[in-house]
Structure 1
Amino acid sequence: MEAQRRLCGFSAALERLLAAGDAAAFEAEWIAQDVQRVGWEALALARRANTEVLEPVLAEVDRRLLAVLERCRAFVDSHVVTFRVPELERWQHAAAAALVGARWGVAGLRTVIADTGAPLGRRYFAFLALAERHPPGAWGLFLKYLRRPDAHHAFVAAAVEAARYYPGRTADLVNAFDRIRGDQLRRRFLGPKILESLLVLGDTAALPLFEELLVAGHTDPDLDRCEVTRALVAVRRLTGRVASSSKFPDPDAPEVRRTLDEAERRFEAERDWLKPVTVI
């Protein structure tokens, strides 16, 4: 099982971090083991459904993360305290939430989410795990966060991403985009996630928004952040035509189709990969 193999690798990397004698050795081991990538990839797989078999290794990872955190806090090193401790704390919350999911399933995740006394990071990763599993009866909870103006940005992002698994939710996503379009920071953060979910849903009800963004959307060299590119892909998918846009005035130019083909391949490859955000 791939998730179990990745978690075992992460656990082994944590054990090597525990053996580091000082901050310099700790940092060298962190880089050598590529812990940043190994940790997030392992925990991403652990968040998904049918992870009951992962309970023992998740419990081991959780214990080792707590031990590494204690070890790090003993180092008098500003780099470790500033950069490594927060990352370890995020992993520990993610591992604890995944462990709840493995032990008690959706009901356990809902309990953590509802516990306002729990650490925010733990509640967020439980919420993200629920989005990864997207059980049929959970949309009401996601919609609650999607509509609340004071909801934490991380929870809104996970709710937006969860919407792609619930057909018929196009109007909720379009309304969410309309609410944030005038707030440039929120639009830069949430806009790509909203448009990604709309693209996955493939509902023609989103076509007017995508056609508007062909001209009025933000452009960016990064395909994930370029509203115009995502709108072009959506319009082509929904109508079969390559439209003119502010980014590509001539839709018949050869580079347009190449760009859209590349973007569509990338979007399709990432459609089921929910990306965690930093919870401050």
Structure 2
Amino acid sequence: MKLSAWFVALALLGTACSSSTLVQQGPSDTLRAYARALEEGHVDEAYRLLSDDAKRSMSLEAFRRAVKESPDEVIEIARAVSRPASDPLVTATVSLPNGDELLLVYEDGKWRIDAAAIDLYSQATPRQALAGFLRAFERKRYDVVLRYVPDAEKEGITLGEEPAPAATPEAAPPAGKADAPAPKTTGTELTAEKLRAAWEGPQKDQINRIAQAIRTALPTAVIEETGDSASMSYGAGGTVALVREHGLWKIRDF
């Protein structure tokens, strides 16, 4: 890891983890104190602002040596840290007995429960949309699963085994992925019952494998988000694609 990356990572660890400094000051104050200590050469004071995890990853002697060997770079990093692009958001994740995760947010000196605790099927972010989709699928709430289907995909699509005969080459359905249920154009609207018939029928094993792979990857996966599109890799080469529609994230393909 480069020196600059070390100092940024250590600074963030110092403000993201619980400590008496964090509770008394807040993340922005701690970042500024860390930057000021580095700029003024108070190396031991800067080190004291780091979390226990950060201190375990770099000893005080190693920290002092890094500062001494690259003073110009340390000052540059300190100035960057003192001007974050946005206020730091401090969160905590609690694992529940059923495997779900509950997000808490630190606001105004108190821990508060995130909206996801009351909105079980949130579509506010790609990650929440995937979690909500999986929850609806596990509970066989196919009426809710339909919320995660883009509008254009709901019309003229079912998930049956065989496509209806195409009248013209242009009307033929596009080829689906080999490892995902392939939608078939039939001129009818996708409904919860049709979804149930496909996913509890001929495609049951396939969709269960995909859902399990997404569920396993979701907690630690990196979700790439660009404008109104997002994607997440899962399993052995799988990718789930999402699209934001009317302000809500929906699943376009997996």
Determine which structure has more spread, i.e. the larger CA radius of gyration: 2
- Name the TM tier (shorter chain): under 0.3
Q: TM-score, normalised by structure 1?
A: 0.26
